């Protein structure tokens, strides 16, 4: 998919005047990051209460990171475009929305004035686009030297592929990870987009932002966080790299300990078409597994490779003899490391997940609850999004943005959107834009 957000702003209007900002009161080193004596940060509870985040709207890993920060208590403001994209990822919960027209000559100034009041800025444009739009890290850090500027891409800010298009499947294919997933003799299997976009992308962006935020709190020095899916996923694969080097892990998929190469680490079909997952790696768990399967004769053969084909056949036949529900009752409460393979709807009803409150309800639908959990600073599930741009006036006011009225009057923050006037219906856009064009992660 592509759009035109990587073009330079055009139009006959004169640029909005950018006057040098007055020094913004900031806490000294060691003070709570985000504390300000002239415009208190909006407090929502959670370990990141008081932290202000700007998210330049995109899709995929960056919105997931922004939503997570919001659930951790940060005051996250999403800068949406005047025209919502048709692409949606549903990750727009938990933050306020301000519409800024970055094609307007004063649009960049509006974002930079928000950046003056923020602790973190997140963008997921192709390399160079933020700079061409006037909201790149050099411009933003000049306004706010303590700012953490988080950049989320698939390929990274540099390298031969940096400016080319890609999706999760392309990023993971280059790292070796996609090649490793699948059965021996079969094609690589696509693991949805959890591995690249969110495992190698969002989570590493979050680690970078929070680490840089800690540094900024201690020293007053902001910095740029270059989070690339190819980098994050490669690092996420550190155990496999170590196993390849020291323990004989083979590049042929489906031949290793944790990739279905062993019959005691695999999935098996049940008589009703369900599936059971088996992960009995340790001898004591394997012994319990074969006991409950009615195959105790296999207890001493776990790590005998020449026996694995026959062992797999025996396991396959055993699991096919009962329904998934029957096997659930057989293995319930045991240390056999055997569990049913649930679909998304079944997971919500699982007794263990239900007891932990792993899912919540928002706007009439099931959503994941925040993770991890905190004993002293509990988090909150991100609320459903409101109309795009509905929070413009409120954000400009309670963040203490300089000359907020002038930004609205200039058209940089369109007056039809500021304060929710003429906003799009809820759910139509705050999580839908794709400002990276075809080159950003998840685009």
Report, as residue numbers or ranges, the catalytic residues: 167, 197
Q: Determine the pLDDT at residue 418.
A: 54
In a domain, 174, yes or no: yes
Measured between alpha carbons, how far is 393 from 118 in angstroms, rounded to an integer?
16
Query: Looking at the structure, do residues 282 and 148 belong to the same domain, yes or no?
Result: no
DSSP readout, 56-103?
E--STHHHHHHHHHHHTT-EEEEEE-SS--S---S--TTSEEEE--TT
Instruction: Report the CATH number at residue 334.
Output: 3.30.1540.10
Q: Can you tell me the distance from the alpha carbon of 391 to that of 396, in angstroms, rounded to the nearest whole number?
A: 9
Give the pLDDT confidence of 102-116 residue by residue, as tens digits.
Answer: 989 999 999 999 999
Q: Residue 9 pLDDT > 90, yes or no? A: no
Res 117 pLDDT > 90: yes
Which helix (H) or strand (E) is 366 found in, with range? strand 365-368
67 and 157 belong to one structural domain: yes
List all residues 6 or more positions away from 212 whose beta carbon is below 8 Å from its beta carbon.
148, 150, 222, 223, 225
* Predicted pLDDT of residue 192: 95
Question: What's the rounded Cα separation, in Å, for the pair 141 and 443?
Answer: 27
- Same domain as 381, residue 291: no
Q: Strand 365-368 to strand 359-362: parallel, antiparallel, or no bridges (unpaired)?
A: antiparallel
The number of folded domains in the chain is 2
Q: How far is Cα of residue 23 from the mean position of the Cα atoms in its chain?
A: 34
Domain of 171, in residue numbers? 52-235+374-439
Per-residue confidence (pLDDT) for residue 431, from 0 to 100: 30
pLDDT at 217 over 90: yes
- Do 293 and 344 belong to one domain? yes
| pLDDT above 80 (res 33) | no
Which three-class secondary structure state does DSSP give residue 174? helix
Name the domain boundary from 320, 341, 362: 362
Whether residues 81 and 218 share a domain: the answer is: yes
Please write the tens of the pLDDT for every residue from 321-379. Answer: 999 999 999 999 999 999 999 999 999 999 999 999 999 999 999 999 999 999 999 99
**Same-domain check for residues 206 and 80:** yes
293 and 231 in a single domain? The answer is no
Say whether both 231 and 296 belong to one domain: no
DSSP letter, residue 200: I
Q: Taking residues 242-264, what's their average pLDDT?
A: 97
On whether both 57 and 129 belong to a single domain, the answer is yes
Residue 254 falls within a domain, yes or no? no
CB 375 within 8 A of CB 82: no
Rounded to an integer, the average pLDDT of 60-81 is: 96
pTM: 0.85
Q: What is the mean pLDDT of residues 207-230?
A: 98
Q: What angle do CA 77, 81, 87 make, to 5 degrees?
A: 100
């Amino acid at each position: 998919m592509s759009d035109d957000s990587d073009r330079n702003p055009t139009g006959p209007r004169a640029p909005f005047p950018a006057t040098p900002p007055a020094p913004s009161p900031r806490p000294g080193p060691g003070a709570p990051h985000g504390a300000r004596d002239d415009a208190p940060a909006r407090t929502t509870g959670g370990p990141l209460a008081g932290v202000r985040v700007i998210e330049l709207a995109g899709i995929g890993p960056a919105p997931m990171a922004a939503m997570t920060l919001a659930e951790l208590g940060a005051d996250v403001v999403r800068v949406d475009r005047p025209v919502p994209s048709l692409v949606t990822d549903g990750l727009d919960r938990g933050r306020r929305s301000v519409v800024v027209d970055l094609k307007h000559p004063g649009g960049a100034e509006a974002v930079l004035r928000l950046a003056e009041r923020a602790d973190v800025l997140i963008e997921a444009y192709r390399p160079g686009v933020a700079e061409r739009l006037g909201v790149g890290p050099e411009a933003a850090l000049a306004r706010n030297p303590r700012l953490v500027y988080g950049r989320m891409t698939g390929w990274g800010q540099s390298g031969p592929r940096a400016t080319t298009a890609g999706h999760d499947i392309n990023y993971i294919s280059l790292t070796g990870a996609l090649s490793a997933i699948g059965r021996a003799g079969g094609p690589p299997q696509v693991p949805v987009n959890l591995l690249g976009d969110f495992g190698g992308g969002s989570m590493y962006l979050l680690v970078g932002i929070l680490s840089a935020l800690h540094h900024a709190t201690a020293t007053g020095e902001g910095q740029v966080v270059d989070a690339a899916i190819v980098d994050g996923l490669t690092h996420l694969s550190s155990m496999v790299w170590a196993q390849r080097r020291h323990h004989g892990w083979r590049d042929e998929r489906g031949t290793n300990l944790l990739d279905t190469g062993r019959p005691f680490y695999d999935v098996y079909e049940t008589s009703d078409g369900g599936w059971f997952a088996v992960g009995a790696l340790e001898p004591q768990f394997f012994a319990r597994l074969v006991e409950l399967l009615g195959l105790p004769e296999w207890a001493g053969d776990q790590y005998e490779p020449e026996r694995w084909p026959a062992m797999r056949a025996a396991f396959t036949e055993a699991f096919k003899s009962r329904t998934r529900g029957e096997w659930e009752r057989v293995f319930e409460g045991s240390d056999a490391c055997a569990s049913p393979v649930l679909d998304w709807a079944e997971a919500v009803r699982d007794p263990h997940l239900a007891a932990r409150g792993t899912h919540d309800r928002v706007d009439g639908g099931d959503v994941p609850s925040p993770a991890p959990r905190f004993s002293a600073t509990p988090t909150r599930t991100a609320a459903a999004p409101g109309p795009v741009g509905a929070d413009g006036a409120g954000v400009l006011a309670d963040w203490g943005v300089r000359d907020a009225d002038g930004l609205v009057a200039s058209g940089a923050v369109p007056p039809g959107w500021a304060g929710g006037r003429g906003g799009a219906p809820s759910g139509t856009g705050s999580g839908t834009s794709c400002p990276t064009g075809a080159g950003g992660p998840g685009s």
